[in-house]
Amino acid sequence: MNPNTPKNESAALLCLWNDIAAHRIDEYNQWHTLEHVPERVWVPGYVSGTRYVAATDAQVRYFTLYEMTNLACLQSPEYHDLVDNPTPWSALMRPSFSNFLRKTGPVAVQAGSVLGCAASLVRWVWLQDAAPSQGELQGMADHLLRAGTALGLTRVRIQRVENVGPQALGNVDHAPTGAEYIGIVESFEADRFESLSQLVESVDASHWRVPPLWREAGGYRLVSHVLHADVKARARPASRLDLMPR
């Protein structure tokens, strides 16, 4: 990571995409915001959980970003308990998920440090022997942050995918196998997705020594954000049975 990165920045990320059955969207938003994400962020080693909703209908509707101090917390007894023993509400919600995708890994590089209200996401896959160097990745992050000043860019992070820990649902993934990275480009401008996407594409086209084998992008608006400090407790948070539909 860039030596100029603030010491309190998260060292690892868990990225999740999913759709939900249309008739359960309102229930999902209640459950996911008020029970599920706080329950996950309670796990020791988590820093925060941020919920996003897609900027357009042409992509997976929800994106959730969990920040962690390290990947080891995804192998902890507390995390295994959440996955293996879902709350009653979680157990009822799981069958309504679709297009589920879970990606974990360390933050390879970072530029900037401020949470934005919108995020442009890009997934890249290279052949294993053509993966970008640390210097290339840092150069990409630094250049995007500088070039995106007029678009309100606040932070650029690139995650190296190293899947760790159990998951309740199987991945729906159309990407080829290879060296995978995820770019998370944040902005304080809530509606500049088209311009932001064009910026990332233009830098993509000229920056990489070897072009990626595969690429996919999307834009998301921030919905809610919870910190580990907000839900820290000795015991696992109680299930929100008071909110669960009867």
Give pLDDT tens digits for 136-182.
999 999 999 999 999 999 999 999 999 999 999 999 999 999 999 99
Residue 30 DSSP class: H
Q: Strands (DSSP E) along 55-136, which ranges?
A: 62-68, 97-112, 118-126
Q: Which pLDDT value is given to residue 3? A: 42
Q: pTM value?
A: 0.95
CB-based contact 52:221 (threshold 8 Å): yes
Q: Which pLDDT value is given to residue 9? A: 61
Residue 114 confidence (pLDDT) above 60 = yes
Q: Report, in this order, helix, strand and coil percent for the chain, each rounded to 5.
A: 35, 35, 35
**In CATH, what class is 12-231?**
alpha beta
**72-96, pLDDT tens digit by residue?**
999 999 999 999 999 999 999 999 9
Mean pLDDT across the chain, nearest whole number?
A: 95
Residue 8 is encoded by which pair of tokens?
A: 């309190």
As a whole number, mean pLDDT of residues 58-79 equals 97
What is the number of residues in the chain?
246
How buried is residue 237: exposed, middle or buried, by Cβ count under 10 Å (0-12/13-18/19+)?
A: middle
Q: Which pLDDT value is given to residue 161? A: 98
Radius of gyration (C-alpha) of the chain in whole angstroms: 18
As a whole number, mean pLDDT of residues 211-220 equals 97
Residue 6 confidence (pLDDT) above 60 = no
Residue 8 confidence (pLDDT) above 80 = no
- Locate the domains of the chain by residue range: 12-231
Q: Which pLDDT value is given to residue 58? A: 93
How buried is residue 245: exposed, middle or buried, by Cβ count under 10 Å (0-12/13-18/19+)?
A: exposed
